[in-house]
Amino acid sequence: MIDIRGAFDCHVHTAPSLFERPWTAFETAEAALRQGMKGFVLKHHFQPSVAQASDVQKAYPELTVVGGVVLNRYTGGLNPYAVESAIKMGGRVVWFPTVDAKNHFDYFGTASSYDVSDAGDGGPQLIGGNKGFERLTSGPGITALGEDGELLPEAREIVDICVRHDVVLGTAHLGREETFAVFRYAASRRARRLLLGHALWKPLNLSLEELIEIADLGVTIEFAASISLPIPCHASPGLVVETIKAIGPERCILSSDAGAAVFPIVPEALRSYTQCLVDTGLDEDDAHRMLAVNPVRLVLEGAPTPQGSNG
């Protein structure tokens, strides 16, 4: 059986949230410690996760727990001030919009669903478990591009801030054109820490050739358990393994993107996902590399040790 000792999960959701999240960050940390994980990145759609990560880090010094900020409406959208403050308080990851992204709205027709299941009869079904937060969101989704198709000045500034502070920048739920625009600009600024989240997630609509092109820009490609477990069932383990082999495991990471009620608790979601990939043909050494080596290099290598961490 695959174990995940030393794993560092770059994509973890916890309670409290406007989505149903069965486990708190502290419960997730306890489970991660039991499985011998190195740590994880807390991601929150509705508030910066820096303070929560700091509290968990102090409670579990054996782990390394970091946070960041997602640039949804709840943090001011494409808000350079939110980026700067989150980083200066210890944040290590900045994500462009998720549920408030125009691409998310265009695909789902709502911000109150975070995914769509193709697993059952009767066609795709929206899932999410929201608490009526759609009332908090008005107007069109957020885009990183102006009417001329170029990156907005505030989007460029956000990239520049991340490059200056040497933190991870992820494109989250942006659409294809936005994703390429962000990564090409970031590459021109010699960004070292770039992340494409949950590759093969259908709303991203990126082909294998496009994923390879993005990786060639120096971007780390994430493959998340959330897209391959029975719900939402976007990509089979076999397709994930084939795609990883084509891109090169040295340029990929494995994450859980767990925390929703339809998934097991984060460490088990990550372990069972990895087991499925290995059983489908992924080399175990490559799996370990994508669980424990590449994520640490992306987020932690050369960065200050989080306050309260023993590692």
pLDDT tens-digit readout, 137-180: 556 799 999 999 999 999 999 999 999 999 999 999 999 999 99
pLDDT at residue 120 in the model: 43
Residue 3 lies in a domain: no
Q: Name which of 104-118, 147-161, 176-190, 198-212 the model is least confident about.
A: 104-118
* CA gap 165, 162 in Å, rounded: 5
Rounded Cα distance between 186 and 48, Å, is 22
> Does 304 fall in a domain?
no
Query: What's the sign of the alpha-carbon dihedral 258, 260, 265, 269?
Result: negative
- Does some domain include residue 2? no
**Bigger pLDDT: 256 vs 304:** 256
- pLDDT band of residue 229 (cuts 50, 70, 90) is confident
Tell me the helices (H) and strands (E) count for the chain, helix number first: 11, 11
Rounded mean pLDDT, 280-300: 99
Mean pLDDT comparison of 12-21, 75-84, 233-242, highest-scoring range: 75-84
Q: Name the amino acid, one letter, at 50.
A: V
Q: Which residues of 150-163 are buried (b: 16+ CB within 10 A; e: fewer)?
A: ebbeebbbbbbbbb
* pLDDT at res. 137: 53
CA distance 32 to 25: 10
Beta-carbon count within 10 A of 251 CB: 18
Average pLDDT over residues 75-97: 98
Tokens 């946070």 appear where?
67
Confidence of residue 241 (pLDDT cuts 50, 70, 90): very high
HSE, side-chain direction, 13 A CA sphere, residue 76: 14
Q: Is the pLDDT of residue 212 over 90?
A: yes
Residue 206 lies in a domain: yes
Q: Name which of 138-152, 206-220, 278-292 the model is least confident about.
A: 138-152
Domains identified in the chain, total number = 1
Query: Strands 64-66 and 125-127, how do they pair?
Result: unpaired
Query: If phi over 0 gives left and psi between -120 and 50 gives alpha, with beta otherwise, what is residue 244?
Result: alpha
pLDDT band of residue 22 (cuts 50, 70, 90) is confident
Predicted pLDDT of residue 129: 46
Average predicted confidence (pLDDT) for the chain: 91
What pLDDT, on the 0 to 100 scale, is given for residue 248? 99
pLDDT of residue 122: 44
The whole domain housing 122 covers: 8-299
Q: Report angle CA 299, 188, 80 to the nearest 5 degrees.
A: 60
Mean pLDDT of all residues in 288-300: 99
Examine the pLDDT at 131 and tell me if it is beyond 50: no
**235 against 218, higher pLDDT:** 218
Contacts of 118 (CB under 8 A, 6+ apart): 124, 232, 233, 234
pLDDT over 70 percentage in the chain: 89
Report in angstroms the alpha-carbon separations of 118 from 121, 126, 131, 230. 8, 9, 23, 9
Asked whether residue 127 carries a pLDDT value surpassing 50, the answer given is no
* CATH, residue 38: 3.20.20.140
Q: What is the pLDDT of residue 115?
A: 53
What number of other Cβ atoms are within 10 A of residue 44's Cβ? 28
Distance of CA 152 to the CA centre of its chain: 23
Give the contacts of 305 (CB within 8 A, at least 6 positions apart). 64, 311
Q: Provide the pLDDT for residue 259.
A: 87
Q: Report d(CA 141, CA 72) in Å as an integer.
A: 9
Q: 265-275, pLDDT tens digit by residue?
A: 999 999 999 99
The number of residues making up the chain comes to 311
Q: What is the pLDDT of residue 308?
A: 73
> Residue 309: inside a domain, yes or no?
no
Q: Is the pLDDT at 47 greater than 90, yes or no?
A: yes
Q: Is 1 part of a structural domain of the chain? A: no
Is 124 a residue whose pLDDT tops 60?
no
78 in any annotated domain:
yes
Is 247 within the bounds of a domain? yes
2-16, 203-217, 223-237, range with the lowest pLDDT: 223-237
